[in-house]
Amino acid sequence: MTGPSPLEDTDVSQPWTESNQAWWDWYIGLAVNDEQQGAIQTANPLPSITVPSDEAVIAELREPYPLSLADIESFQANGYIKLKSVLSPGAVLKLRAVLVDLLEAAYKTKIDGGIQNRFLSLEMVWLDNPLLRAYVLSPRVAQICAKLLAVPAVRLYHDNVLSKEPGCGRTPWHFDDHHFPLDSHDVVTAWVPAQPTSLAMGPLAFAHPIDIWRLVDSVNFEKSTTGYDKGVAEAFAREQVCVDETPFEIGEVSFHHNLNFHTAAPNVTDRSRVVLANTYYADGARVIDAPTMVSGDWQKFMPGVGPGDVAKSKLNPICWPIATSETSDGAVC
């Protein structure tokens, strides 16, 4: 059987023309996985607590988070930080319930064991759901992002509901600079797990410090093989790069820079690993001149914005600082 030549396989210049879900199906398939994955384990029960009202959660999502100078310095050195208690346990369980309902409706399956081995996604969920809008446009989360990046204002790029179903394999090594067609390095993703996330569920794992991307800059991206994931893993092993692969306790959220390299292990539990991953960027950033297929369905997230334009559509509200009538540019926040 003959596949594409190695040279053709590195050509990603064409745009992505399918859905965001098709993008994830393709992308997850680029990860190396062990032939024999361990047996599916029973996940610990979700904590049994009273879930707060919508109003209480919305108020919580506006409260400033006590971020320290050491947190900011750590993010800037390592390209990521994991922060505890960004959300209360009740706000996490409420998020999970809403996301599970949406996923079950969209995929006509039961989450937690209905579909096996897949990585399901949804995006733009904040547009139709007032509660999710509060999570995605959260001033608490966006202020953390602005402070970590040391920029005065951040906009939303997009939200992404990511559900790694039981039995789904690894997320390939990558940095998001490949994915987001922005000309800026002031870009950060808040990865918000919607349950406590054990090692067996495949928590996001981060290589550090931030500049280790240079070690793998010459590894060619291959669009139909596991070559890139393998090449990055081998280079990191050779150079003994440190990887932070630790569980997320309930309410813990990670923030990763678009130069940070990250991966995630398979989910070998019987519970879906549901996450809300929201990306924010410094106000003023532009779209790059030549987005690629790795940028996925980016135009959906910025209608009317073309290559080279300032990245500012009505779907990219400024989330921090909170808009006042004087500062509002008409975008919804």
Ligand X SMILES: O=C(O)CCC(=O)C(=O)O
In the complex, what is the shortest distance from the CB of residue 273 to ligand X, in angstroms, rounded to a whole number?
8
The one among 264, 276, 282, 315 contacting ligand X by CB under 6 A: 264
Dist. CA 168–CA 273, nearest whole Å = 10
Dist. CA 253–CA 81, nearest whole Å = 8
User: Residues in contact with ligand X, total (CB under 6 A)?
Assistant: 11
In the complex, what is the shortest distance from the CB of residue 119 to ligand X, in angstroms, rounded to a whole number?
7
Name the residue nearer to Fe ion (CB basis): 165 or 176.
176
Name the residue nearer to ligand X (CB basis): 173 or 320.
173
Among the listed ranges 64-72, 151-159, 161-169, 170-178, the one in contact with Fe ion (CB under 5 A) is: 170-178
The one among 171, 198, 269, 316 contacting ligand X by CB under 6 A: 171
The one among 98, 142, 275, 302 contacting ligand X by CB under 6 A: 275
Cβ(71)–Cβ(121) under 8 Å? no
Dist. CA 278–CA 258, nearest whole Å = 12
Q: What is the CA radius of gyration of the chain?
A: 19
Site string for ligand X, 179-198 (x = CB under 6 A): ----------x-x-------
Residue 155 touches which of ligand X, Fe ion, none (Cβ within 5-8 Å per kind): none
Q: Residue 285 gets which letter from DSSP?
A: -
The one among 71, 165, 176, 229 contacting ligand X by CB under 6 A: 176
Dist. CA 207–CA 57, nearest whole Å = 32
Cβ(96)–Cβ(169) under 8 Å? no
Dist. CA 318–CA 331, nearest whole Å = 7
The one among 123, 165, 176, 252 contacting Fe ion by CB under 5 A: 176
CA torsion 262→297→288→141, rounded to 10°?
-50
For residue 118, give the 3-state DSSP assignment: coil
Task: Tell me which residues in 198-237 interact with ligand X (CB under 6 A).
Answer: 204
Contact residues toward Fe ion (CB under 5 A) are 176
Contact residues toward ligand X (CB under 6 A) are 162, 164, 171, 176, 189, 191, 204, 262, 264, 275, 277
